[in-house]
Structures are given as C-alpha cells and as structure tokens.
Structure 1
Amino acid sequence: MHPGRGPYRVEVLRSVGELPPGLWERLAPADDPMWSRPVFAALERSRVGPAGYAYLLLRRGGEPVAVLPLSLFPDLQLDRIVGPHERRLLAPLRRRAPRLLRVPMLLCGHLLGQGRLLAAQPPDEEAGRLLVAAALDLARRERLGTVLFKDFAGPDLAPLRTPLTEAGFFLAPALPDTELALPTDSFEEYLAALPAKPRRNARAKIRCFAARPGLRIEVLAEFDHLLPHLLPLYRQVMDRADQTLDVLDHAFLAALAADPASRLVACFDDGPQPGCERRQLVGFLLCLFSGNGATGARIGLDYRLAHQAALYHNLHYAAVRLAMANGCGHIRFAQTAYPPKTEMGCALVEQWHAMTHLRPLPRAVLRHLLPPALAAARAQALGLPDRPSERPSDNRSARFSPNPLATARRSEERTSRAAR
C-alpha cells in the first residue's frame, strides 16, 4: 500500500486476476485488442521475457480509478534491445563480461503494445505523482535500477509528464506504432485509394502470390493444433529482428488460441517440396479483435519462399480483408518493417519513452546518451532522415505520415534483403 497525502492511495497487485471484478473491462480501451484481459493473462502464464508482473491500482476515496501494468526484468540483456550496429559494438563485452550487459529494469505500460495508464479520466497531478512514486518505490524494493515508461503516445503521456519530470525522468523517442484506417469495407476500394506506385506494387505482389497455385491463405478460429508449427516460423522472424525485448512462447500462443477473439491468418503450401509433407504451414499472422479495432500481433514466415511468394505482404493484405469483414475501423501492426507498411497506407503513431535511473550518475549517463541514440535508431528504422519533434504532442489525433514514395526503391530493396 502506498498512501497519498490526499484522497488517493496505491496498491501493488501481482496479477491481473487480483483486480476488482469488471474494473479492467471498464477502464481498458474498447478498440485496442492488445489491452484485453486475455492478453495480460496470457503474458502471466508464459515466459516471454519478464521475470514477473505487477499492477499499480490507484484508488480515490476507496474507489478504484486507474491501473498501471508493470513488467519486472531483473536481468534484461542490453544487447537484445539495441540495434544491430550497437549489438556489434557490444559483442566483445558480451564475450568477456556478459554480466555488464544485464540491466535490471522496471517497465511501466504494456510489454507488447502501446503504453498507457488505464483510467476513466486523465489523472490529476496529485494522482500522477503518487503513481510515479509508487513505481519508483517498487523498483527500489525489487532492486531494478532503470525505470521505463514504454511507448506512450503524446496524449497518454501528457497527464504524467509533470510528475515524471519532477521525479527525474527524461523523454526519448520510441519507435512509432503503425495504424491503417479502414474507411471502407471493400478491399478493392482500399487498393484503388492508394497512390499509384503503392497500388501497382500491391497488385503485383497479389499476382505474385496467385501465380504459385500450391499456396493458400485461410483464416482459422481454432488453431491450437498448429502451435508446434507456429513457433519455428516465428523464430525465423525473431532470428532476423533487431530487437528482442519479448519472445513469445508456446504457453502464450496457446492461451491466445483459446481466446474467441483471436484469429490465425495462415498460409499453407499444398505443393510437394523436397523433404516436406503436403499442406505445410509456411506463414502466419496472428490477429486479435476488440470492438472497432484489430491488431496483427505477431508474424511467422518460412524464408525459403517468403520473398518469391511475397508472403509478408499477402498475409497483411489478408488481415486487412479480415478486419474489413469484421467491421473494424482500423487495424494496427507491429513496430517493424515500416517501409512496406507505410506503402500499404499505414499512418505512423508517434510514441515516446520516459526513463530514469534510481542513482544519479547512471541517470546522467542515460540522459546524455539514450535520446540521440534512440532518435538515430528510429530514423534508421523508418528509412527517413527526419527526426521527431523535441516534445510529444498532446493532440490525441497526433500522427505523422512520412512519404513512402520518396524512398520506395530503397525500401523495396531493404524488404527484399530481409526476406532472403
């Protein structure tokens, strides 16, 4: 229990199941499936990265009014969360002194999605100060020196900005989220609304897939029997990923397979391949639904044919069709592969980290080094020279949509190399 000076107090709970009944459903965004209770319950059953989870429950006059999820990393591997250039520089240190690359961290927000504080109303500064103080107190008790509010959009960060700044946090640019608005329920109308070159590229990739008669994409509501085949394809993608803060496991996927709101967009190859059985799973995109929103949560690919068959693009096109068929107004995708997603018409949703360290010297080092390093990594990931604004916008509709046509050729080459 963390008492406040006013009507507020904070409790630390260790499971989403300990929250008051119905509170999560009342506070969580109805159109963001990543914030559904089953996703957090699945995280708690699995071993995808953190050693444990906690939830700060804010009460006002005894009534629960806000929830902040936390992930506890006693020994987060630093070289798993930096870019490829930094990973190469750290390789000698990893060989000689691997313990120096272990960073005890408390992550505030969502491990897998956009960060936010669940609250019916934005918290006032008194409530924000109490929540920030409770997070720092838990970090001290658990000996987690670094505290990170991860991937918060400007409007969600705004009510906490003053308490965070007062507590010594600094802001650093995060990778943006990707969101595709679906103003129509017709996939052909969606394609027709794209600019000329992205439209031609999309139709070419659809023809490329159709030219391989053995490939079929199916949407499955029940897919637990495919779990042993999902993980190897997912690991192929993760082996090529720049950052691996979380790596999904069988327990997490099994929990989501049991969720009625999940669907698997699965690609099968019915054609004979040397050493392979017929009807082989060669790609998938795990999709979640809630209210008016959809999310393409995680992807898996067989890289032996991913490029030749344009698997990545066609799985995403199938997810767009599925979201339209479900009456969704938007679909979000992961924080990766920005050039093909912007070419699909996705807007980039600006996000920020707020970070500090419990000790002054490491805090000063982080404040000096991390913001420019993360800004450079963001620019490299986007394939664009521009940088985000120095402060996050409080505008709830804040978006920035870089022009994918300016770097279309370079983006296509980068995607092709990744698929190989």
Structure 2
Amino acid sequence: MRGTSAARAAGAGRYRVEVLRGVGELPPGLWERLAPPDDPMWSREVFAALERARVGPDGYAHLLLRRDGEPVAVLPLCLFRGLRLDRIVGPAERRRLAPLNRLAPGLLRVPTLFCGNLLGQGRLPAAEPLDPAAGRQLVAAALGLARRERLGTVLFKDFAGPDLAPLRTPLREAGFFLAPALPDTELTLTGGTFDDYLAALPAKPRRNARAKIRRFEAQSDLRIEVLADYRHLLPQLLALYRQVMDRADQTLDVLDQTFLTAVAADPRSRLVVCLETRRMGQHAIGERAVGFLLCLFGPDGTAATGARIGLDYRLAHRAALYHNLHYAAVRLAIAAGCRRIRFAQTAYLPKVEMGCELVEQWHAMTHVRPLPRAVLRRVLPPALAAARAEALGPHDPRRPTERPSHAAR
C-alpha cells in the first residue's frame, strides 16, 4: 500500500491542471493537435460558436492538463447555475414533475457542471493515452472547480466506452456512478453511390426508403439543395428549428441565431435545405425553406454529422421531409468521400431503418456533498434509464425480448 501511494504521488507530481475560460485561451494550435479530426462536433469552430451564443450554459471553461510543463490533454466544461431537471428527463418523468414545477420551480433547478461536449459525444482529447494519475488530476480539478463555483452536481456527459476508459477508475475513486445515456446513431458508409447504399439495405427498409423518395418527388413545388452559404436563410431556419424543439422530449440546449451565424461562417459546414416554391395562381412569386438538416464535416474529411434539424410540420408528413433530408445528407457524405455520418440522439426508429448503428454512451455523475450524492445515486439512474428505454423503444438492447417462463422465474 505504501508503494502504491508513493507511485500515485510521483505520478501526480508530473501533472498540473490549469483552468482556462475559453477555447481562445488555449495555446495556439493545441486544439487542432488534440481534438479528434474525425468528429465534426469537436471542431474549434463549434466550441467558439458555443461560447459566443446563449444556448443554455451560463459559462464555459477548459481544463488544460500539463505533464512536466507540456500540454497533453484538454477537457471542456459547461457551467449551469440552474439546470432544469424537467428538460433532461423523458416525457413520463416530466409529467410526474409537472406539479412540483408549478408549486416550487426552484427545486427543479440544479447547479451543475457538465464535463465534455454539450452538443456531441463526450471525449477527452489527449496527445497520447493517459495514465490513471492524469485522470485523477482532471477529475480532482473538475470537482475543485465545481466547489468554487457552487455547482453541486458534476456530470461527465455522453462518454462512450473507449473515451471513458482512462477516467473510469479515477471517477469511481472520487464517488462518481454511471448511468446509461441516449446512444448516438452512426451510419457506416462503404463507398460507392447512394444507389449502392439503398441496395445494401434489408428488403423492407429499402422498399420504405424508395417509397418515401417517390413521395417527396411527387411534390412538384419542393426541391432539396445543398448550400455552402446559407446565412440569408437563418431567420427561416430558426423558425423551423423552433418547431422541432417545441416537440422535443429533452431541451438541454437550444441553438440561437448567434450560434448558427458562427457555424454558417465555417467553410466545412453545409446546409441540406428543402425549399418550397410559393405561387400566386400559376406564377411563382418566391420560395421559402420548409426543412433543413445542418451538416458539419470533420477536418480530416472522413466523417460528417447531421447536427440539427428543422421542419415545417404543415407538410413534413405529406412529403416525408424528415427521411428525405437525411437521405440527402447521406448522398452528400458519400459524395464527399466520408466513411461515416452521425445523426442526433433522437428518432431511433427511422435511423435504425436507414441502417444506423447505436453507439452506446454513459453518464458519470456525482455530487460534491455526501447526502445529495446518495439521493442522486438512487434517483437519477432509474429516471435516465426510463427516458432511454422510452426513446429507444424496441431498439433498446437492454430491453428483454420475451417474458421469462414461470420456471425461469
């Protein structure tokens, strides 16, 4: 035991953590060197846009880990002074919380520190695999910042297994517990053409896809375009995005015009947009956006993300807008030579039918005080698991496929 403690102390002595208050405070070129080049949601442009916008958090920070003075890893943080619990649970839990929200809304506002990426998968960008001593320093720094900022709950958000691995032991040692998060959806692209992609689908999804494409093509006043410059459409896009968010089960983050304006300036962003021709009698008098899918591309060109969607529900079903916007994004990613495209943590049924696989993710959470930590450990995992099961439905791999027999019970 004495030897183990000495080894931990020696390892810890090599590391130092700095708290920086924005991505712009990182050493020049460090983000580009550490951030995964195949994940569009981890581009500097996305994080800079977040910091300029008002999409939910009250502040941002980055933990910069140095080893012997050299920067080796960075962990982004989001500070919520009063995170609304009813915005991160599923609809069933939200209904149960509604009376409490009406009587005492303050009880549902929880000061929280998010570790990772608010808009994407949780990662720990590092120059090389980190040892447990490095993980302990980062976890301790996150807890220290939470205490200084009076943020009782600390959450490592949406980490997949490989990204959680270097932190798993330090998190457990610090009193964190795991809870299942909503999985990401990822479509592997094997090259070829969009027709090749369709042909590779199972028979029923292939028939459904072709039927939905024909349904869209029958709408003579609708067309889908891919735009590199879409700043002129931003007011229309925001209105469509709000229609989706008004129906969303979870609203942890809500993008605003400042964020979209910043992302629109990124040369790696593209807008898949459905435009409707407006007519007066037989004459076209203009057009307007009735649906969009914002697509971002990683720096190395191997991956894309369909980051956010907006729909005019007046005609979304009639034209199969949701599906056709996603099909257009798949076409775009194939044409760009991407090996995969990811979509958001919603609408699992159509995405699985499109061929997407589920990428399992986890939350690691704790509270800086023992009693609230015990309450969180008892309450949050089942609530999040219930929200996950409701969102995934039959596609939840944890869902039992059949009831056990009496003998098995």
TM-score by length of 1: 0.90
Please give the alpha-carbon distance, in whole angstroms, between the structure 2 residues aligned to 1:247 and 1:385.
Answer: 26
The yes-or-no answer on 1:217 pairing with 2:227 is no
2:406 matched residue in structure 1: none
Name the amino acid aligned to 1:83: G
Please give the alpha-carbon distance, in whole angstroms, between the structure 2 residues aligned to 1:5 and 1:33.
Answer: 32
1:191 matched residue in structure 2: 198
The yes-or-no answer on 1:13 pairing with 2:4 is no
CA contact (8 A) 2:291 2:312 kept: yes
The yes-or-no answer on 1:160 pairing with 2:183 is no
CA contact (8 A) 2:12 2:134 kept: no
Please give the alpha-carbon distance, in whole angstroms, between the structure 1 residues aligned to 2:398 and 2:285.
Answer: 49
1:32 matched residue in structure 2: 39
CA contact (8 A) 2:12 2:137 kept: no
Of residues 294, 297, 311, the one that matches 1:289 is 297
1:121 matched residue in structure 2: 128
Please give the alpha-carbon distance, in whole angstroms, between the structure 1 residues aligned to 2:49 and 2:396.
Answer: 37
1:312 matched residue in structure 2: 322
CA contact (8 A) 2:91 2:387 kept: no
1:343 matched residue in structure 2: 353
Q: Name the Cα RMSD after superposition.
A: 1.9
User: Structure 1 residues 46, 6: closer, same or farther in 2, change over 3 A?
Assistant: same
Q: Which moved more, 1:349-358 or 1:115-124?
A: 115-124
Name the amino acid aligned to 2:330: V
Secondary structure, aligned partner of 1:278: strand
Counterparts of 1:62-211 in structure 2, within 5 Å, are 62-211=69-218
CA contact (8 A) 2:90 2:390 kept: no
The yes-or-no answer on 1:237 pairing with 2:244 is yes
Secondary structure, aligned partner of 1:318: helix
Query: Which residues of structure 2 form unaligned runs of 5+?
Result: 1-9, 403-409
CA contact (8 A) 2:348 2:395 kept: no
Q: Tell me the CA shift for residue 249 of structure 1.
A: 0.1
Q: Deviations over 1:271-323 (max 9, x none)?
A: 4389x963111000000011201000000000000001000000000000000
The yes-or-no answer on 1:321 pairing with 2:331 is yes
2:370 matched residue in structure 1: 360
Of residues 384, 387, 398, the one that matches 1:377 is 387
Please give the alpha-carbon distance, in whole angstroms, between the structure 2 residues aligned to 1:217 and 1:88.
Answer: 38
User: Structure 1 residues 190, 58: closer, same or farther in 2, change over 3 A?
Assistant: same
User: Structure 1 residues 277, 151: closer, same or farther in 2, change over 3 A?
Assistant: farther
CA contact (8 A) 1:215 1:270 kept: yes
CA contact (8 A) 2:212 2:324 kept: yes
Please give the alpha-carbon distance, in whole angstroms, between the structure 2 residues aligned to 1:50 and 1:277.
Answer: 42
User: Structure 1 residues 322, 142: closer, same or farther in 2, change over 3 A?
Assistant: same
Please give the alpha-carbon distance, in whole angstroms, between the structure 1 residues aligned to 2:12 and 2:32.
Answer: 29
The yes-or-no answer on 1:279 pairing with 2:298 is no
Q: Tell me the CA shift for residue 10 of structure 1.
A: 0.2
Q: Tell me the CA shift for residue 141 of structure 1.
A: 0.4
Q: Tell me the CA shift for residue 46 of structure 1.
A: 0.1
Please give the alpha-carbon distance, in whole angstroms, between the structure 2 residues aligned to 1:340 and 1:80.
Answer: 24
Q: Deviations over 1:188-224 (max 9, x none)?
A: 0000000000000000000000000110000000011
Of residues 321, 329, 332, the one that matches 2:342 is 332
Query: Which residues of structure 1 form unaligned runs of 5+?
Result: 390-401, 407-420
Please give the alpha-carbon distance, in whole angstroms, between the structure 1 residues aligned to 2:338 and 2:187.
Answer: 11
TM-score by length of 2: 0.92
User: Structure 1 residues 283, 352: closer, same or farther in 2, change over 3 A?
Assistant: same
Please give the alpha-carbon distance, in whole angstroms, between the structure 1 residues aligned to 2:297 and 2:335.
Answer: 12
Return the index of the structure with the highest Cα Rg: 2
User: Structure 1 residues 252, 178: closer, same or farther in 2, change over 3 A?
Assistant: same
Secondary structure, aligned partner of 2:89: coil
Name the amino acid aligned to 1:67: V
CA contact (8 A) 1:107 1:149 kept: yes
Name the amino acid aligned to 1:84: P
Please give the alpha-carbon distance, in whole angstroms, between the structure 2 residues aligned to 1:103 and 1:277.
Answer: 50
Please give the alpha-carbon distance, in whole angstroms, between the structure 2 residues aligned to 1:209 and 1:278.
Answer: 20
Name the amino acid aligned to 1:376: A
Secondary structure, aligned partner of 2:154: strand
User: Structure 1 residues 81, 330: closer, same or farther in 2, change over 3 A?
Assistant: same
CA contact (8 A) 1:180 1:330 kept: yes
CA contact (8 A) 1:152 1:351 kept: yes
Please give the alpha-carbon distance, in whole angstroms, between the structure 2 residues aligned to 1:75 and 1:40.
Answer: 21
Q: Tell me the CA shift for residue 55 of structure 1.
A: 0.1
Counterparts of 1:381-400 in structure 2, within 5 Å, are 381-384=391-394, 386-388=396-398
Q: Tell me the CA shift for residue 383 of structure 1.
A: 1.1
User: Structure 1 residues 93, 273: closer, same or farther in 2, change over 3 A?
Assistant: farther
